[in-house]
Amino acid sequence: MSRPDPGEDPQPAPRRPRRPLRAVARLLALVLLLAVFGAGVWAGRLVLSGQPIPAPDWLRDRVTARIEAQSPGLGLSFDGLSLVFEEGWQPRVRMRNLALTLPGSGARVQLDQSTARLDGAALLRGGIAPREITVTGAQLRLRRRADGSLDLMARSPGNDRALADALDELKSALRRPELAGLRRIEGLGLTLIYEDARAERLWSADGGRLVLDRQGEELVIRGDVSLLGGRSYATLVEGSYTSRLDARAGSFQLSVADMPSEDLATQGPALAWLGVLRAPLSGALRVAVKEDGALGPLHATLQIGAGVLRPSEETRPIPFDSARSYFSFDPASQMLRFTELSLQSRWVSLLAEGAFQIGAGPSGGVEMTGQLSATDIVANPGDLFAAALRLDRAEAELRLAVDPFELSLGQLLLSEGGQSLQLSGWMRARNGWELGLEGALADPRDAAARLSPDDVLGFWPPLAKPKTRSWVSRNLLEGALSHLQFALRATEGRAPDLQLGFDFDEATLTYLRGMPPVRGARGHASLRGDRFVVRSDAGQVDVPGGGVLDVAGTTFVVPDVRVKPADGEVSLRAEGALGDALRLLDHAPLELLSKAGQDPGMASGRARAEALITMPLIKDLPMDEVEASYNARVEQVESDSLVPGRRLTADVLQVTGDKRGLTVSGAGQLDGLAFQGRFRAGLGGTQARPQVEARVTLDQAGAEALGLTLPPGTLSGQGTADLSLELEGPDVIDFRVESDLAGLGLRIPALGFALSPSGTGQLSAEGRLGESLRLDSFALEAPGLALSGDLTASPEGRLQLLSLDRLRAGGWLDISARVRPSGSGTALEVTGGRVDLAAMPDLPGGGDLPAALVLDRLEVSDGLALTGFRGQPAGGGALRFSGRVNGGAGVTGVWSPRAIRVEAADASAVLAAAGYLRQGSGGRLTLDLVPQGTPGHYAGHLEIKDLRIREAPVMAELLNALSIVGLLEQLSGPGILFSDVEADFTLSPGALVVQQASAVGASMGISLDGLYDLAGGQLQMQGVFSPLYVLNGIGALLTRKGEGLIGFNFRLDGPASDPRVRVNPLSALTPGMFREIFRRPAPGTD
């Protein structure tokens, strides 16, 4: 086969007179007539033998000349002419190598041999009546123009004859009288050349046969030819044409056997769809020819053998086993109707019918638009599905463009078991196959339009998002699926791309292997792009060992299904009892709580929880590759184990956590103590200890809630403290407390301390709660108060030891102390420090004395202190003590709530240490102090026995002023002995006021009163000096003790270290009894 030049498609030539066939008829008649004349020459011998009787040359020349004369323009030549009489005197004329050039068209007919069987009776009557004509070796050339019309081709361009015109001429010739008896014309060994300008194809075949049969006015032309096209099989083509000699109407029928589908597809728009196939076909086509020459409807039946669908060489062939079709085509309406179209293949099998409108596509190719209805459908194209789809019925609205191939589905309705799936899409053959489908359940509102998970998986190709499909297969266990929508894109050489969406109801879902499933789930699943989402709008989880959790809002997401392995994200939302939510998180394989020793029943309440679980979607998933985090809002919380030994309650708490830790935060009460804080615990085997961090409320009620009994009024206002707890074990808690005391009023009357709510300070404490309380350290810093120490308690909660490293109150107390159990109470031991009695505030009385009192320094007044102070209870609320005055002389005494008695064996040393008298020696001292109403104020009485004074500067100055030489010598020598010294005074933090004092001995007597400014070290004293007191003292009966009948008034002013001494000698003239009248008040007593 070869292709003609498309440019050689000539326009139809003007119609010429119908004479060539008449010339042929005349030729045949003349040949027969000459044969009759020649027969008489040698008839006798040859007739009986049946051998051909050759005609002499002169006869051949005369025959040729006569024919050409009777048929102008007809060219005739032949090599031999002979006559044969067959049995029954049936004459037959033969011509060899007959060549005819038809007039007008120039068409040349070349015949190897032509034979005509004559009517013998007519021949005897002198007539010529051919019965049959047989020609051999003829060549027939047909050409189909681009407009579809057929021409007989001539040797010379432009002289082709329209096939319809040729048939008309043939009919006209057969109706001539000389051919009225002609019943059959047969052509053998024909060569057929068919040139198709529309398909740009050329076919040629040898050995063809063409038969023309005539029955009265009925004309039947039939023929057959066998074609070889380089295939393993030969194609047999048989054709027939039936008509009447007196009409142009007729019918044409073509039968083919094993014809290539693509060859037949080129012969008309109604057959163009066969061009996408590569398969042998057999069948018959029948078409009517109308009186005006137009074609009527085409009817065809085709049996298509095993082959492939392959519109182009670039597409992978799609095999099929067989196909069959019965169809008709109306060229007037261009409507193609299939009464049957069946297909059998591994990919799809069906039985269909439908109708299509034939037209031209945008590219000029044939396009078919119409509807197709199919039944008995079994489909699994390209083994796309795990099992073949079996459908009851399919209704399609489609458009098929043949070249380039594109199948467009406006709508495809698939029905199976009362359910319908509506599809649309396309299929193209460009650089390989391309497929696009979109579909949905036809009526999702219909309860019958529901699918099971297996139904959806049946439509889901295993190679389309296989990991996602596998997840659905494993985890969507049961349920009713509706509102199904999907889109499929497939390109040859690539994995198909599927987008899917459907609703589910009463479904059972699993989201993590081993976890309790979601039952009664209702929601939606979608695969959009590379993201797969399953959302449950309703559902519940039955928690083993617990109750039911509402898990509405739970989602499962694969963010990118292309990733290998893909990651899955479960966003679990649950509402129900807190214990059930925690049990779910602690269920195998997560076990988020039990792995850290936490009990899912640690608290009760109502929870609304969200958990995010991420994991790779792999088989045999190890738990270390699972990440989990969660948060919950818990209401009406109660717990006796979250903080061991303490009851925790809260209106609302937030719970968050992951594999590494759990956090509970919010506001609540711990044993009635209000707090705002959080609980943290390490989970999943982490080493972090559980912790509580809270801000607690500090007030009187909170202290009582913790079992801390405080005197009424100790706390006022309300403050906060930061509390930190670490759970070392189930019953061991390490804690730390810190507060700035803002807003909290604190009052400790026993220490004279008060902090207003507007003040601030710093409180800190840390320790351990276990079998016993241990306070490793505590400290309180506030204006006027500081303390620090530690505490331990027995397992029964009783105090074992309270150690105060430091207790400082105001400016008067700075000590260390211990408190121990004692009998049914406690005992205080002061172990060191300082107490300033002068600065001590007015403290309430009462209370137990310390079991032991050890002070480094006891400040009595400015410049007067006891060091190394030691005290022990003496009964009756009294304290027996000892110490050293200003670090010097030792004293002992008794301290009772009403009075203080101080005793010293060396009075002079005590007076010297106190800074009052440094030149004395000996003496026994007794000092009584009675506290007054004002703190640091005492009324005192002093008694000293046998005090000797030597080299006292003040006294020496006094004696020198009076020129008492003996006493001066005595003072400078062994000293002056005072057998009895007494004083009544008041002591305040800044001054010593002597109301009355006296010192008497054998040598002299002295009375004294006045003021000693302790802060400034200034003296303002006055007194009376009485010499020779042993005699002069008789006047003391009328005067003060220490004054004689004769005495000298004196004054001491100025610094105590070097006072000024002023003596009034004339005062000795005043009798002692009148001295009081003239005595001025003691300085500083006004």
SS (H, E, C) 226-257: EEECCCCCEEEEEEEEEEECCCCCEEEEEEEE
Residue 666 has pLDDT above 50, yes or no: yes
Q: Where are the beta strands (DSSP E) in 456-596?
A: 476-491, 497-509, 518-528, 531-542, 548-550, 554-558, 567-577
Mean pLDDT of the chain: 79
Q: Which helix (H) or strand (E) holds 164?
A: helix 163-174
Burial class (CB in 10 A: 0-12, 13-18, 19+), 48: exposed
Strand partners, 940: 929, 985
| 3-state percent breakdown (helix, strand, coil) of the chain, nearest 5 | 15, 55, 30
Check residue 326 and give its pLDDT.
97
Q: Residue 131 in contact with residue 120, Cβ under 8 Å? A: no
The predicted pLDDT at position 325 comes to: 95
* Torsion of Cα atoms, 367 then 373 then 377 then 383, to 10°: 20
- Please compute Rg for the chain using Cα positions: 69
Range with lowest mean pLDDT among 42-46, 337-341, 377-381, 650-654: 42-46
Q: Which residue has the tokens 């209704």?
A: 395
pLDDT band at 522, cuts 50/70/90? very high
Q: Which residues pair with 612 in a beta bridge?
A: 571, 629
Model confidence pLDDT, tens digit, residues 758-782: 889 998 989 887 777 788 898 999 9
pLDDT > 70? residue 619: yes
Distances (CA, A) of 55 to 37, 82, 126, 225, 930: 10, 6, 19, 35, 189
Q: What is the pLDDT of residue 955?
A: 59
Check residue 16 and give its pLDDT. Answer: 43
Average pLDDT over residues 914-926: 83
Tell me the average pLDDT across 679-685.
67
CA dihedral 1028, 1030, 1036, 1042 (to 10 degrees): 70
Q: DSSP assignment, residue 49?
A: T
331-342 per-position pLDDT tens digit: 999 999 999 999
Three-class secondary structure of residue 326 per DSSP: strand
Q: How confident is the model at residue 460 (pLDDT cuts 50, 70, 90)?
A: confident
Alpha carbons 744 and 718: distance in angstroms, whole number: 5
Q: What are the residue ranges spanned by the domains of the chain?
A: 1-248, 689-792, 950-1078
Residue 765 near residue 773 (C-beta atoms within 8 A): no
The region that residue 97 occupies, defined by phi over 0 for left and psi between -120 and 50 for alpha, beta otherwise, is left
pLDDT category at 11 given cuts 50, 70, 90 is very low
Which of 86-95, 481-490, 1034-1043 is the least confident region?
Answer: 1034-1043
Place of tokens 């050489």: 493
SS3 letters across 768-806: EECCCEEEEEEEEEECCEEEEEEEEECCCCCEEEEEEEE
Q: Over 175-211, what HEC string results?
A: CCHHHCCCCEEEEEEEEEEEEECCCCEEEEEEEEEEE
Beta bridge mates, 1068:
none
Please give the full DSSP string across 22-40, using - where no structure is assigned: HHHHHHHHHHHHHHHHHHH
pLDDT tens digit sequence for 12-67: 444 444 444 454 444 454 444 444 444 444 444 444 455 777 877 777 777 677 66
Cα distance between residue 800 and residue 772, in whole Å: 10
Q: Is 81 in contact with 90 (CB distance < 8 Å)? A: no
pLDDT at site 658: 80
The answer to whether residues 293 and 248 touch, using CB atoms and an 8 Å cutoff, is yes
Neighbours of 730 (CB within 10 A): 11
Buried b (16+ CB within 10 A) or exposed e, 924-961: ebbbbbebeeebbbbebebbbebbbbbebebbbbbbeb
Residue 1080 has pLDDT above 70, yes or no: no
Residue 525 · residue 535 · CB < 8 Å: yes
Instruction: End-to-end CA distance of the chain: give it in Å, rounded.
Output: 155
**636: three-class secondary structure by DSSP:** strand
506: tokens are: 């009463």
Coil, helix or strand at residue 262: helix
Q: How many CA atoms lie within 13 A of 394 on its CB side?
A: 25
Work out the average pLDDT over 831-854: 77
* 172-176, 351-355, 577-581: range with highest mean pLDDT: 351-355
Provide mean pLDDT across the span 989-1018.
Answer: 84
Asked if 1080 and 1058 touch (Cβ cutoff 8 Å), the reply is: no
Of 795 and 249, the one with more pLDDT: 249
pLDDT value of position 419:
73
Beta bridge partners of 1054: 1019
Determine the angle formed by the axes of helices 20-47 and 163-174, rounding to 10 degrees: 50
- The b-or-e profile of 766-799 (16+ CB within 10 A means b, else e) is bbbbbeebbbeebbbbbebbbbbbbbbbeeeeee
Q: Is there a contact between 609 and 575 (Cβ–Cβ < 8 Å)?
A: yes
For the cut 90, the answer to whether the pLDDT of residue 352 exceeds it is yes
Structure tokens at 879: 């304290």
Rounded Cα distance, 493 and 433, in Å: 9
| Long-range CB pairs of 351-358, under 8 A, 24+ apart, other chains included | 351/375, 351/376, 352/394, 354/396, 356/400, 358/269, 358/270, 358/272, 358/329, 358/334
Measured CA to CA, the distance from residue 23 to residue 69 in angstroms comes to 10
DSSP state, residue 56: P
- pLDDT tens digits, 95-129: 888 777 766 555 566 777 888 887 767 666 656 67
pLDDT over 90 (residue 621) = no
CA torsion, points 369, 375, 376, 382, in degrees to nearest 10?
A: 20
CB 790 within 8 A of CB 810: no
* Percent of the chain predicted with pLDDT > 70: 81
DSSP 898: S
Question: Quick check: 285 pLDDT over 90?
Answer: yes
State the average pLDDT over residues 838-844.
74
Q: How far, in Å, CA of 68 to CA of 102, rounded?
A: 11
Q: What is the rounded CA–CA span in Å between residue 316 and residue 309?
A: 9
Q: pLDDT at position 663, please?
A: 82
- String of b and e for 576-594 (b: at least 16 CB within 10 Å)? bbbbbbbbbbbbeebebbb
Identify the helix (H) or strand (E) that includes residue 222.
strand 218-228
Q: What pLDDT sits at residue 447?
A: 52
Three-state secondary structure call for residue 562: coil
Q: What is the pLDDT of residue 868?
A: 92
DSSP β-ladder status, 130-136 and 184-196? parallel
Q: Residue 255 pLDDT > 90, yes or no?
A: yes
Exposed / middle / buried, residue 707 (Cβ in 10 Å: 0-12, 13-18, 19+): exposed
Please answer whether residues 617 and 567 qualify as being in contact, where contact means their C-beta atoms are separated by less than 8 angstroms.
yes
Predicted confidence (pLDDT) at residue 2 exceeds the cutoff of 50: no
Nearest to 494 by CA among 433, 424, 426, 436: 433
pLDDT digit string, tens, across residues 185-231: 888 888 888 888 887 888 888 888 989 999 988 999 999 998 876 67
The SS3 of residue 916 is: coil
Residue 822 has pLDDT above 90, yes or no: no
Question: Which pLDDT score, from 0 to 100, does residue 740 have?
Answer: 92
Least confident of 503-507, 804-808, 894-898: 894-898
Confidence of residue 568 (pLDDT cuts 50, 70, 90): confident
Q: How far is residue 321's CA from residue 315's CA, in Å, rounded to a whole number?
A: 19
Rounded Cα–Cα distance for residues 909 and 904 (Å): 9
H-assigned helices in 249-316 = 261-265
Residue 1078 has pLDDT above 60, yes or no: no
Cβ–Cβ under 8 Å, residues 760 and 736: no
CA distances (Å), 52 to each of 188, 424, 815, 996, in order? 20, 75, 164, 199
